[in-house]
Amino acid sequence: MTLKNIIRLSILSGFLFLILPLSAQQKIIHWQLEEVTSENVLGQWFQEASFIDDSLNVPVYMEEVLLPEGSNELEYRLTNQQFETVEVKIAGIGAEIKPVITIVTERKQKKARVCFIPLRLNPESGKLEKLVSFEANLNFLKNEQKNITASGFAATSVLASGKWYKIGIAQTGIYKISYQNLKEWGLNPDKINPQTISLHSLGGKMLPESNSQPVQDDLPPVAIEVIGEEDGVFDPQDYILFYGESPHKWIINILGQKLNHQTNLYEDTTYYYLTYGVQNPLRIQDFVTPTLSATHRVDEYIFPLLHENNDQQLTKSGKEWYGETFDENSSQNFTFIVPNHKAGEKGIIEFDVAGRSFEANSFVLSYNQQELSTISLAGMSANLMTGLYARKGKALLNFTPQSDTIIFNLTHLKNHLYSLGYLNYIEVNVTRHLIFNGHQMPFTYMPRPQTGQIPEISLQTTHSDLRIWLVDDLHQPQNIPVQLSDTSVYFKIQAYNGHYFIAFDGSS
């Protein structure tokens, strides 16, 4: 198959790009059976596989394409895809293969590095399939610098008109803006039509460190709920609800059956921008409950905790920060509180440390006076002024919580007088019963192998007015209609992947 000989024009980032089509290239993936391991749960490999995906532990297809002179982008589309069924269940695989393209320069030659996981979940059969052949359609984008505005970007920002009020939050949760809050911020709520109030935010995620990566253009709207807006008047009892997200995230890791922390290295506050006078602002919509019967019931969830004190940089530069120092105080305890933990369920702990010593040294992690893990670190060059500053180590392991109060001991064993140890973080994942505590409670759904795709999630509570929002999408949270019993609320959801929720009683 040959692409039509058409030159398309698009304007990006102040440059005029000429898209130069090439013929489609036939690709065949030669799969081979291998032993199933924790690093490769698929048990298959292929020649074009260059590495293992860290989150799913499956091989990744990689191809490098030389870019012609003057080109700095590549479009890569997969067509005529042929698949074969794989008798393995791997959570987290989507229904569509999505290539990720990175532009690199090696020896003054630009290349496009194309990577994708050659697996899909067949949307009709629900079975896992491997890609065995496809046609790769390549379009090179050649730039010619022009003094023109990029067509993919807004000509003016939404901030260019109206009055805007900046709100900073540090914790994830449901936030309430009252009539009194607006007055304190200098607004006159009596003159505001609540039906025109709008909230905007980029969220708290880190911007790409590479300036070649795409970024969000302008401030997108965030769906909110305005109680009492129906009459077009902001009365003293009216208020606004919105879901605010911390810049520090918890990422669902289905294969590892845990949540991975993602610390924002540059910011501790997420900013939201409130305005009014907007036509058709975004509002919270109801979630559409699946009509199919539930495949299983869920009354527990994985609760993540993190100890991370970013107090010091070991080399006074860079982006890695550490917390506690193990010097004279070489043995320290760390306490985690997990209300309503599920007895007998294993937890997961991950800890990251560094050691600075002439001689070999180690860290020993213990729980209930039993050693769980040891990280051994080699000694360094005698010339500590010019050599490596410290050696790093990390371990991940299971343990069984014995109570709601979990105390770990971390001891630095040093073989030299001047040895120093440093703690980066301790991350803990423990299974809890789904019991509503406090006034609001974030929780997640984590698919497990061998379970169905329509869970009925049951949250134990005595609050008859408890509400639950689905918050997978920061900008468009959804209100979940729930059913009530004497001791719980429950709902169904279609769940190929993990989901994020927050329950709240509206009292604060």
Write out the two tokens for 337: 């509180």
| Torsion angles phi and psi, residue 194, rounded to 5 | -65, -20
pLDDT higher than 70, residue 273: yes
pLDDT in tens, 283-309: 999 999 999 999 999 999 999 999 999
Band (pLDDT 50/70/90 cuts) for residue 350 is very high
- Under CATH, what is the fold of the domain 307-431? Jelly Rolls (2.60.120)
Secondary structure (3-state) at 181: helix
Band (pLDDT 50/70/90 cuts) for residue 409 is very high
pLDDT, position 17: 34
What distance in Å separates the CA atoms of residue 431 and residue 160, rounded to the nearest whole number? 48
Within 8 A by CB and 6+ apart from 154, the residues are 217, 218
Rounded to 5°, the CA angle 35-37-40 comes to 90
What distance in Å separates the CA atoms of residue 84 and residue 43, rounded to the nearest whole number? 15
Rounded to 5°, the CA angle 479-483-487 comes to 120
Within 8 A by CB and 6+ apart from 68, the residues are 20, 140, 142
Question: Which residues are registered as beta bridge partners of 417?
Answer: none
Band (pLDDT 50/70/90 cuts) for residue 50 is low
Write out the two tokens for 487: 């001791």
pLDDT, position 55: 57
pLDDT higher than 60, residue 208: yes
283 in Cβ contact with 226 (< 8 Å): yes
pLDDT in tens, 424-458: 999 999 999 999 999 999 999 998 876 778 999 99
What distance in Å separates the CA atoms of residue 203 and residue 190, rounded to the nearest whole number? 30
Scanning the structure block, which residue is given the tokens 């790409």?
208
pLDDT in tens, 116-138: 889 888 877 778 899 999 998 88
Nearest to 348 by CA among 397, 408, 301, 406: 397
Secondary structure (3-state) at 171: coil
pLDDT, position 223: 98
Rounded to 5°, the CA angle 68-69-73 comes to 60
Write out the two tokens for 61: 């297809």
What distance in Å separates the CA atoms of residue 139 and residue 241, rounded to the nearest whole number? 46
Average confidence (pLDDT) over 390-398:
91
Q: Which DSSP helix (H) or strand (E) runs through 429?
A: strand 420-433
Q: 54-68, 125-139, 196-210, 393-407 — which is least confidently predicted?
A: 54-68
Q: 241 or 218: whose pLDDT is higher?
A: 241
- Under CATH, what is the fold of the domain 288-299+434-504? Immunoglobulin-like (2.60.40)
What distance in Å separates the CA atoms of residue 266 and residue 18, rounded to the nearest whole number? 37
Where are the domain boundaries for CATH 2.60.120 in the chain? 307-431
Q: How far is CA 104 from CA 107, 209, 328, 339, 492, in A?
A: 10, 15, 47, 48, 45
pLDDT, position 36: 62
pLDDT, position 1: 30
pTM of the model: 0.72
Q: How far is CA 480 from CA 275, 279, 287, 291, 501, in A?
A: 27, 26, 5, 14, 9
Three state DSSP letters for 243-281? EECCCCEEEEECCCCEEEEECCCCCCCEEEEEECCCCCC
Question: Which residues are registered as beta bridge partners of 243?
Answer: 174
pLDDT higher than 50, residue 14: no
Write out the two tokens for 469: 């929002």
pLDDT, position 335: 98
Where are the domain boundaries for CATH 2.60.40 in the chain? 288-299+434-504
Share of the chain above pLDDT 70, in %: 87
Write out the two tokens for 122: 């067949």
Bridge-based pairing of strands 49-52 and 420-433 is unpaired
Mean per-residue pLDDT over the chain, rounded:
85
